Amino acid sequence: MPVALRGTRSGAKLVHISDWYPTFCVLAGVDPSNPVDFNGTIHGIDGVDVWPMLTNVNTTQPRLLTPTTEVGIIEASPERFWKLITLAGQSVYYTKNNTQTAGTDPCLAASQPPPAQPGRGSSFVHGNEQGCPVCNMSQPCLYDVLADPSETMNVAAQNPDVVARLLPPLAESNQQYVTGHLPAAVLAKDYAAVHPKEWGDFFGPCYTRKGAPTPPPTPGPPTPTPTPPVPAGAFKGCFVDEVSEVPDHLKWDPKRDLPLNKGSSGEMSPALCIAWCRKGNATRSTPFAFAGVQHGSSCLCGDSFGRYGPAPSHDCNMSCPHDPSTMCGGYERHDVYATAEVMKLRST
């Protein structure tokens, strides 16, 4: 970083994650170009060199249009950043002190089908469980990001010209990034669409080859299994969970496989979660029968488990914070332990 710029701010600049590759290549003296022929048109890499912009050598955005998803695009002009969204459900907003505020966008009368794969599942198309879509292709949302960084004011109705200008490049970007390269007949014959719940209601990766076994996780270097703490439970396996609608810790959510969310900790381990679940909660002093570690740092408790069925062991692939040899569940998956039996940690 130039000495004169250290400790300063670059101002309102739009940088996409794909821009770092060409930026670092140019700084290292390497040519980042890698053009490909896409349907008869030569297409370069997605990223652009943003170093001149970040160092104020050139204050103009090197890219006018930046597709953010298959349903969103940003136009970054010197005056303002317009963001168009053509599919979204009701959202929530956060203040600078992390206070959550419910969204107030009016619900549309009806939602529309999801876009081409890889697309988004029902919760994105239909909104939340109350069914509140707020943006779609017929009535998209438009935000002036610099003036409204939290995206709370939909100004599409006041700027129909901007909406009309951004819809075509968004559709064009989907032809390059979303629709894919394989003919429909090949997809139907050899591939199966990924279930939306597999990736948190995103269809991506978009397809898996039919009949192909699920690959195991890439093994890491062997790590000696640490001596477990005081025995307190027995490993029962990796099991499927559902996304909680009660995010605050110490809350009861009957839809979850283990309904009591005891919270998260940077010190999470099966032993710690078992100890938490053995304490009961505010309404009972007796231990819960089972403890589940999830997402690397979360702990859940309950008296039964398995309502959504077992999961492959490699789905519980997140190691505990301070013990990489012991798993602490995965995304919508938890490693379950009985709290009253001799503990046998599941290790890599």
How does pLDDT run across 196-252, given as a tens digit for each residue?
556 555 555 566 777 766 555 545 444 433 434 434 457 899 999 986 655 555 578
pLDDT at 290: 93
- Write out the two tokens for 321: 């914070």
Based on the fold, state whether residues 68 and 51 are members of the same structural domain.
Answer: no
Residues 80, 204, single domain; the answer is yes
Task: Considering only residues 49 and 344, tell me which one the structure prediction assigns the higher pLDDT.
Answer: 49
* 297-308 mean pLDDT: 92
Q: Which of 11-25, 58-72, 187-201 has the lowest mean pLDDT?
A: 187-201
Question: Could you read off the pLDDT of 77-107 as tens digits, one per residue?
Answer: 888 999 999 888 777 777 666 677 777 788 8
Give the C-alpha separation, 271 to 287, whole Å: 14
Contacts of 155 (CB under 8 A, 6+ apart): 142, 143, 144
Q: Which two tokens stand for residue 118?
A: 């890889």
Mean pLDDT over 304-316 rounds to 90
Q: Is residue 216 part of a domain?
A: no
Same structural domain, 195 and 79: yes
Q: How many domains does the chain have?
A: 3
Name the more confident of 118 and 7: 7
Instruction: Give the number of other Cβ atoms within 10 Å of residue 30's Cβ.
Output: 10
Report the pLDDT value the prediction gives residue 266, as an integer from 0 to 100: 82
Buried b (16+ CB within 10 A) or exposed e, 111-146: bbebbebbbbbeebbbbeeeebbbbbeebbbbbbbe
Beta strands in 199-269 (DSSP E): 207-209, 234-240, 251-252, 260-264
Same domain, 120 and 189: yes
The reply to whether 89 and 188 lie within a common domain is yes
Task: For residue 220, tell me if it sits in a domain.
Answer: no
Higher-pLDDT residue of 134 and 19 is: 19
Q: Are residues 155 and 70 in the same domain?
A: yes
Residue 344 maps to a domain: no
Q: What three-state secondary structure class fits 18?
A: helix
Single out the residue of 303, 301, 293 nearest to residue 334, CA to CA.
293
Residue 74 in any domain: the answer is yes
Q: 75 and 172, same structural domain?
A: yes
Distance CA 180, CA 201 (A): 19
Return the residue matching tokens 């190691």. 319
pLDDT band at 343 (very low <50, low <70, confident <90, very high): very low
Which residues have C-beta within 8 Å of that of residue 141, sequence separation ≥ 6? 84, 85, 86, 88, 105, 134, 135, 151, 154, 156
If one compares 192 and 120, the residue with the highest pLDDT of the two is: 192
Last residue of a domain, one of 195, 210, 225: 210
Distances 96 to 11, 99, 101, 212, 333 between C-alpha atoms, Å: 18, 7, 12, 47, 31
Same domain, 21 and 55: yes
Cα–Cα dist 263/299, whole Å: 6
Task: Give the predicted TM-score (pTM) of the model.
Answer: 0.54
Domain range enclosing 28: 1-63
| Inside any domain, residue 221 | no
SS3 65: strand
Q: Is residue 229 part of a domain?
A: no
Q: How wide is the angle at C-alpha 193 spanned by C-alphas 179 and 173, nearest 5°?
A: 15
Burial 271-291 (b: 16+ CB within 10 A, else e): bbbbbbbbeebeeeeebbbbb
Please determine, for residue 185, whether its predicted confidence score (pLDDT) is greater than 50: yes
On the question of pLDDT at 303 being above 90, the answer is yes
Average pLDDT over residues 34-52: 82
* Contact criterion met (CB below 8 Å) for 67 and 124: no
20, 39, 63 — which closes off a domain?
63
Single residue among 63, 96, 114 that ends a domain in this structure:
63
Q: Are residues 206 and 273 in the same domain?
A: no
Q: What is the pLDDT of residue 19?
A: 94
Residues 138 and 161: their CA atoms lie apart, in Å, by 15
Helix (H) or strand (E) holding 301: strand 298-302
Q: Are residues 58 and 76 in the same domain?
A: no
Main-chain dihedrals φ then ψ at residue 76, nearest 5 degrees = -110, 95
Confidence of residue 326 (pLDDT cuts 50, 70, 90): confident
Please state, rounded to an integer, the average pLDDT across all residues of the chain: 78
The yes-or-no verdict on residue 348 having pLDDT over 80 is no
Q: What's the rounded Cα separation, in Å, for the pair 46 and 106?
A: 35
Query: Do residues 270 and 335 make contact, with C-beta atoms less than 8 angstroms apart?
Result: yes
**Helix or strand holding residue 93 (H, E):** strand 92-94
Same domain, 69 and 43: no
91 and 46 part of one domain = no
Tokens at 123, concatenated: 């919760």
In this prediction, residue 291 has a pLDDT band, given cuts at 50, 70 and 90, of very high
